[in-house]
Amino acid sequence: MKRYQILISLFLGFTSLNAQAGDPFSTCPSKAFLVQDTTARLYGVNLVSGNAPELTSDMGTTSKVNGFGFSVHDQYLYGWGYEAGTLVRIGSDYQVEPLSITNSPDGNYFVGDVSVQENAYYFYKKGASTGLYRIPLDEASGDYLAVNQVIDGSSLNLTIFDLAFHPDTNMAYSVDKNGDLHQIDVSDGSSTLLGNVGQSGTFGAVYFDVEGTFYISRNSDGYIFRINVSDPSPTAELFAFGPNSGNNDGARCATAPLIDEDDTSIDFGDAPSSYGLTLADNGARHEFDASGLFLGSLVNGESTPKAVDDSDDGVQFVTGLEAGLDTLILVTSSTSGYLNAWFDWNKNNIFDESEQAITSKNLVSGENHILLEVPSSAQVGNTWARFRVTENAVVTVNGGAANGEVEDYEVNISDPGMSTTSYPGGGSWVTLAYEDLWPEKGDYDFNDVVVNYRTTINKVGSNVIRYVIEGHLNAVGAGYHNGFAVRFKNLPSGYVNSSLIRHEIGGALQSSVALEPGRSEAILVVIPDTKSIYTSACAYFRTNGCESDPTISFKITLPLSTPIDASAAPSGILDPFIFAVNGFAHGEYVNVNSARSWEVHLKNQEPTEAFDSSLLQKEDDDSDSVLGRYFLTETGLPFGMEMGVNWSHPKEKVDLNTAYPLFRDFAETSGSENQTWFNNPQNSIVITNSN
């Protein structure tokens, strides 16, 4: 509970130690208030999650408070106090203060709110002897606290249990027990039926946010729905699971956003938006407790969803997801809870109701082994899965939850029997670093183009069916424009299913065709121009300052339309290289208009069919095609190198051997010594890469 108390203080902008009795609230809070029970208790409600920690069980009254509303004019709560039978005011001490109103009607009232547009409280009860009433709250007004009937309760005859004012108009809204949405013009008491929202019940607490979105909370189950009141066919969309109660009334500062920009108490998913991601999408989200229930070893939050959620660590796919067969997953839970999960088996970019793969599965603290059947109708390829852990058994694929965590995973559905080979590993990188002055020697800082890199190959039986290339552009220390490409040696380009190539740079899907046209071998242009792809305040990219500039991710999926036997298929690191970009100068030997014919490969990798072989052996190049030697100097130095880890590259003009003193012995002994020289940099003169 201590955590809740801290949160409550934060979201109400209220420091209990310093508050004086009867003081107004210090802010217009994003969280809502809820009063429940026959002896009033006050709760703070996070509509984003439905979480509702108790603020106080003692409001200084022995009876109910109802018809609850927050005034944006003086930042007090107002309501109808049943004990005193009058309007009450509640300040930051949460204590009921009865107000002396005049012309008060008989009885008690449970429907009411404070207008946003005018400083007045409205309350309502249906029936000929009652109706809709207005009480001015402006202490400077001559009619302060003088009750005035707007309309009698037989003319305005609605079975409603709360009302809330729109932030931008003087219209009040409510949903009756049948699910009919009513708009009430409080200036004359007229009402308009806007439509049925599709949910019925006693909606005892209703709220608005600053966007004009309407929220209704059902007493019986605590479900919170949201409604776009401007929609010609308004519909109640399940938004969060809140607390249930026989007696319920809500209030909220209608001019506050639903979530504060600095609020990090909510964990969102990270699947594409079509699956439900943001608050606007009503995406899956949880008000987490880092000492409570979550998946894996880590949970954290954000006010808007991250591109990649670094706390998604609770689900491990122990076996491949093979269509028509069982798969084994390992789910780690911090404590006991319930797991629900959905897979987009049909790859229509949404989680259909029928795609719930795990329903209310009991989790124990620690590891849980779950066998899951992959439908035979599941579409082969990449898709998304969503896992939600909660204290309650029931949760929907989207919407808020008061506890637990959501973890989204991109998964690959395969045909039965598929194997996956990754180099250097499914979560590891090697680094490729190039010097771009070839055929002249460079300055050997090996940072003209630096990428980390891995390859993945899928086989069914002995046939390769798919390649995946991924990595990050870590540095560009070049003045020239260089592209980065991968050649698939001996793989005919006609074997590639070019229409299904998926090419992403920086997480954005590329519309250009990655498969280089007109080549007999498959060549993928991964980054068309490394020099043009980054933005930086520095002259170069992450070599001479601006080290915190984010690296740029890339990923290409290359499915084959004609599988190729593994014995003939390219494998391992493949053949990554840089090339000069057409239209840009690249030294005296390169024609600007046919610059693509300049390439630099790793040492002793043969250039592609696009290469201009007349460049070989010019200047410092000592290539010898007869001996299978390419891109080396007379002393055997390379122009491109592979390092076996995610390497920290030298800063601009820092010599490789100065940055890595163990390199010399490694190089001169042909790798007999200092085999992991790349793990021992002079830290002050290299740029650390940790992606």
Partner 1 sequence: MKYFKCYTLVTLLFVLIGCGGGESENKAQPVETVAVVKDPPADNIVETTADIIVDADFNLSTKFNLQLDAKLEGLDQRAYLNVCLAPQSGEKLDYNNCLFRSPLTASGINESLLISHSEMKLVAQIWFYDGSTVPIQYEWQYESNLDEQKFMIR
Site for partner 1 in 443-462 (CB under 8 A): 444, 457, 459, 462
* Residue 567 in contact with partner 1, rule: CB under 8 A: yes
| Residue list 307-336, contact with partner 1 (CB under 8 A) | 316-320, 322, 325-326, 328, 330
Nearer to partner 1, 402 or 432 (CB): 432
Give CA angle at 447 (443, 453), nearest 5°: 145
| Residue list 418-447, contact with partner 1 (CB under 8 A) | 418-428, 430, 441, 444
- Contact letters for partner 1, residues 611-630 (x by CB under 8 A): -----------x----x-x-
List own/partner pairs for 541-545 with CB under 8 A and 24 or more apart.
541/473, 541/475, 541/476, 541/477, 542/474, 542/475, 542/476, 542/687, 543/445, 543/447, 543/475, 543/476, 543/477, 543/649, 543/651, 543/652, 543/687, 544/477, 544/651, 544/652
The torsion angle over the Cα atoms of residues 678, 682, 687 and 688, rounded to 10 degrees, is: 60
- Taking the complex as a whole, the smallest distance from the CB of residue 588 to partner 1 amounts, in Å, to 21
Residues 405, 390: Cα–Cα separation, whole Å? 7
If you search the block for the tokens 């309407």, which residue do you land on? 214
Residue 48, helix vs strand vs coil: coil
- Taking the complex as a whole, the smallest distance from the CB of residue 476 to partner 1 amounts, in Å, to 20
Q: Which range of residues in 191-199, 468-476, 530-538, 670-678 is near partner 1 by CB under 8 A?
A: 670-678
* Residue 637 in contact with partner 1, rule: CB under 8 A: yes
> Is beta strand 285-287 parallel, antiparallel or unpaired with respect to 321-322?
unpaired
- Taking the complex as a whole, the smallest distance from the CB of residue 204 to partner 1 amounts, in Å, to 47
Total chain residues near partner 1 (CB under 8 A): 72
- From candidates 392, 532, 675, 680, binder to partner 1 by CB under 8 A: 675
- From candidates 573, 616, 662, 685, binder to partner 1 by CB under 8 A: 573
Largest CA distance in the chain: 107
- From candidates 81, 153, 559, 638, binder to partner 1 by CB under 8 A: 638
Residues 241, 260: Cα–Cα separation, whole Å? 20
Per-residue buried b or exposed e for 362-374, using 16+ beta carbons within 10 Å of the residue's own CB: ebeeeebebebeb
- From candidates 87, 667, 686, 687, binder to partner 1 by CB under 8 A: 667
* Residue 602 in contact with partner 1, rule: CB under 8 A: yes
Nearer to partner 1, 144 or 666 (CB): 666
* Residue 644 in contact with partner 1, rule: CB under 8 A: yes
Residues 552, 541: Cα–Cα separation, whole Å? 10
Tokens found for residue 555: 């990923």
Nearer to partner 1, 80 or 639 (CB): 639
| Residue list 332-391, contact with partner 1 (CB under 8 A) | 367, 369, 371
- From candidates 377, 499, 670, 690, binder to partner 1 by CB under 8 A: 670
Which element (helix H / strand E) includes 522?
strand 521-527
- From candidates 636, 653, 682, 688, binder to partner 1 by CB under 8 A: 636
Nearer to partner 1, 2 or 369 (CB): 369
Burial of residue 385 (number of CB atoms within 10 Å: 0-12, 13-18, 19+): buried
Residues 252, 29: Cα–Cα separation, whole Å? 8
- Taking the complex as a whole, the smallest distance from the CB of residue 638 to partner 1 amounts, in Å, to 6
| Residue list 472-511, contact with partner 1 (CB under 8 A) | 489
